[in-house]
Amino acid sequence: MFKKGNSKGTMSVGVKVSLIISVVVFVILAAMAIYKSSSDYTSDLNTDTHNIELENSNIAKDIEKYMYGVVRGANITHSVVSDLMSAPADKRDRQALADIVKSTLSVSPNTYGLGIYFEPNAFDNKDSSFKNTALGNTTGRVALYASRDGSNVTVKSTDGVNDNSSNGWYTVPMASSTPMFTDPYLDKSSGKIMTSFANPIVVNGKNVGIVLADIDITVIAEILKEKQANLKEGYRAVASSTGLILAHSTDDSKVMGNMIQYIPALKENYEKAIKGEESVADFKSNTLNAKARAVITSIKLAGTDSYWLLQTTDKISNITKEAKISMISTIVLYIVVLVVIIAMIVLLFTKMVAKPLGLMEHIIQKLSNYELDLEEERKQAQVYMTNNDEIGHIFTSLGLMTTNLTQIVSNITSHAQNTAATAQELTATAQSTSDSANEVSVAVSNIAQGATSQAHDTQSAASSVDLSNRLLKDMLVVLEDLSQATNIIDDRK
C-alpha cells in the first residue's frame, strides 16, 4: 500500500520548516528594513533640509536685524526732518539737517552713509544762497551726506543727485510714495557695491525729497561666508526682489548678476520668495555640476513691504549623506537582528521539533523492521513525553503502541506454542487414524469381495425369477384356455 521513499539527498522536516520560517522571517524583516530605511532616509532628508531651512531662517534674521538697524536710523532721521518741514520755510535750518544726519550716523554702526536730499528749493527756498557751501551743492540744493572714516563722521554736500544719468538711487524712490530698498548699484565714489534704503519726504501729499541710508553689501557677504563652513560643496546667495544678486558666499563674480537668468528652473520659487513664501526645489546645478537642492527663504525688509531672498544650494548627495549612512546603519542592524533571530529559530526548532521528529523517525523505522527493543529510545523520549504538546502526546502514543505490540507478539508467541503442541497431538491422532483406516480398508476390501459374490448370486436369482415369471405367464395362458374350454363344454351340456 505504501512505498518506501528514497531518503538519500532529502532534507529533514526540521530543516524544511526551519527554512520556511527563516524565509518568512527574512521576508518580513527585509520588508520592515526596506520600509524603515526608506522612511528614515526620507525623514533624514527632510530633517537635513529642515536644518538648512532653520539655518537659512537664522541667517535671514541676522540680515533682517542688520537691515533693521539701518532702517531705524533712517526713520529717526526722517521723523526729525518731517518735524522740521512743519515749520515755515524761512524758519527751516539746514545746519539742523547736517547735525541730524551726523548724530544719527554716529549711533548707527550698520549704516555706511546717511543722506538727506531735497528737490530744488523744496526745503527752504534758499538754494541760490547756499551754492557751493557746506550746506548746499553746486546748485544750492540740500544734498547732505554723512559718511564715516573710522570713528570720525563728516557731513558734506554732494552733486550726485544732479546727475540724472546715474541718480536712479534718488529718482526711483522719488517716483514712489513708500519706503523702499534700491537694487544694488556701484557707488562711484567708494567703488563699493551698495544698496540703499530710501524713505520719501512727503509734504502736503507731494514728494519733496528723500532720506537715504546706504548699506555696504559686503557686510551681507561676510554673514554668508561665516556660515559657509556648514556647507560641504554648496553656496549661499542673497538676491533682491528683481533677482539681482547682492551677495554670494563663494563666487563674488556673480554679484550684480541675475539669479533668475543663472537658474531659470527656479523662477517660480523666486517669485514665491519675493512674496514671502519659502520653498524647496531640486534641479540640475551647472555651478555644482550635479543634481542639487535649493532651499529658498524670504528676507523681510524692515520698513517696507518688500522681500529679498536667500538661497542655499548644495548637492543632494551631500544633503543625503547622513541619511544614506543612517539607512546603511539601519540595514546592517536589521541584518544582524535577522541573523540572530534565524539562528535562534533554527536552534530552538532543532531542539524542540527537529530532534524529537528524528527520534520518532528512528523509533518508527525500528518498529517497521519488527525491532521492539526500544529501551534506549524510551529513555531519550522521556524528556519529551512530559511536554503537554503534540510531540509529547505522540511519544506517549508511540510508547503505548510499542507496549501493545509487545503484548500482541507475546500473545501470538504463546498461542503459536499452544498451536504447535496441539498440532503434534493431532499428528499422532492422525497417524492412529491412518492405521485404523488401513484396517478398515482391508475389512472393506473383504466386504467388497463378499458383496461381489453376493451380487453374482443375486444376478443368477434374478434370472431364475425372470424364467419363473415367463413360465408362470405361459401357465396362466394355458389355464385361461382351459377355462374357456371348460365353459364351452358346460354350455353344450
Q: What is the CATH number of the domain that holds 104?
A: 3.30.450.20
- Tell me if 198 sits within 8 A of 210, measured CB to CB: yes
Is 60 exceeded by the pLDDT of residue 462?
A: yes
Determine, yes or no, domain membership for 80: no
Distance CA 315, CA 102 (A): 47
Distance CA 293, CA 105 (A): 41
Is 80 exceeded by the pLDDT of residue 451?
A: no
Determine, yes or no, domain membership for 115: yes
Q: How many CB atoms lie within 10 A of CB 379?
A: 9
pLDDT of 1: 45
End-of-domain residue from the set 188, 213, 238 = 213
Model confidence pLDDT, tens digit, residues 253-294: 898 899 989 899 999 999 999 999 999 999 998 888 899 999
Q: Taking residues 122-134, what's their average pLDDT? A: 94
405 burial via Cβ count (<10 Å: 0-12, 13-18, 19+): middle
Compare 340 and 392 and report the one with higher pLDDT: 340
Distance CA 244, CA 263 (A): 12
Model confidence pLDDT, tens digit, residues 86-112: 999 989 999 999 999 999 999 999 999
Number of domains in the chain: 2
Determine, yes or no, domain membership for 488: yes
pLDDT of 189: 74
C-alpha cell at position 73: 536710523
C-alpha cell at position 143: 544734498
- Give which of 252, 238, 208 is closest to 82, Cα–Cα: 208
- Tell me if 299 sits within 8 A of 309, measured CB to CB: yes
- Tell me if 112 sits within 8 A of 77, measured CB to CB: no
Determine, yes or no, domain membership for 38: no
Q: Which domain holds residue 132?
A: 87-213
Distance CA 373, CA 198 (A): 111
Determine, yes or no, domain membership for 376: no
pLDDT of 11: 61
Round the average pLDDT of the chain to a whole number and report it.
83
Determine, yes or no, domain membership for 459: yes
Determine, yes or no, domain membership for 65: no
Q: Taking residues 291-312, what's their average pLDDT? A: 93
Of the ranges 32-46, 170-184, 399-413, the best mean pLDDT one: 170-184
- Give which of 157, 158, 180 is closest to 169, Cα–Cα: 180
Is 60 exceeded by the pLDDT of residue 312?
A: yes
Is 60 exceeded by the pLDDT of residue 8?
A: no
Cell 543632494, residue? 316
Cell 557731513, residue? 155
Per-residue confidence band for 308, with pLDDT thresholds at 50, 70 and 90: very high
Beta bridge partners of 297: 310
Is 90 exceeded by the pLDDT of residue 237?
A: yes
Q: How many CB atoms lie within 10 A of CB 140?
A: 19
Determine, yes or no, domain membership for 230: no
Is 50 exceeded by the pLDDT of residue 50?
A: yes
pLDDT of 449: 74
End-of-domain residue from the set 157, 184, 213 = 213
Q: CA–CA distance from 9 to each of 3, 18, 172, 267 (Å)?
A: 18, 17, 93, 69
pLDDT of 2: 45
End-of-domain residue from the set 163, 193, 213 = 213
Is 90 exceeded by the pLDDT of residue 139?
A: yes
Q: Taking residues 157-183, what's their average pLDDT? A: 84
pLDDT exceeding 70 applies to what percent of the chain? 89
Is 70 exceeded by the pLDDT of residue 7?
A: no
Q: Taking residues 434-439, what's their average pLDDT? A: 69
pLDDT of 457: 66
3-state DSSP of the chain: CCCCCCCCCCCCHHHHHHHHHHHHHHHHHHHHHHHHHHHHHHHHHHHHHHHHHHHHHHHHHHHHHHHHHHHHHHHHHHHHHHHHHCCCHHHCCHHHHHHHHHHHHHCCCCCCEEEEEECCCCCCCCHHHHCCECCECCCCCCEEEEEEECCEEEEEECCHHHCCCCCHHHHHHHCCCCCEECCCEECCCCCCEEEEEEEEEEECCEEEEEEEEEEECHHHHHHHHHCHHHCCCCEEEEECCCCEEEEECCCHHHCCCEHHHHCHHHHHHHHHHCCCCCEEEEEEECCCCEEEEEEEEEEECCCCCCEEEEEEEEEHHHHCHHHHHHHHHHHHHHHHHHHHHHHHHHHHHHHHHHHHHHHHHHHHHHHHCCCCCCHHHHHHHHHHHCCCCHHHHHHHHHHHHHHHHHHHHHHHHHHHHHHHHHHHHHHHHHHHHHHHHHHHHHHHHHHHHHHHHHHHHHHHHHHHHHHHHHHHHHHHHHHHHHHHHHHHHHHHC
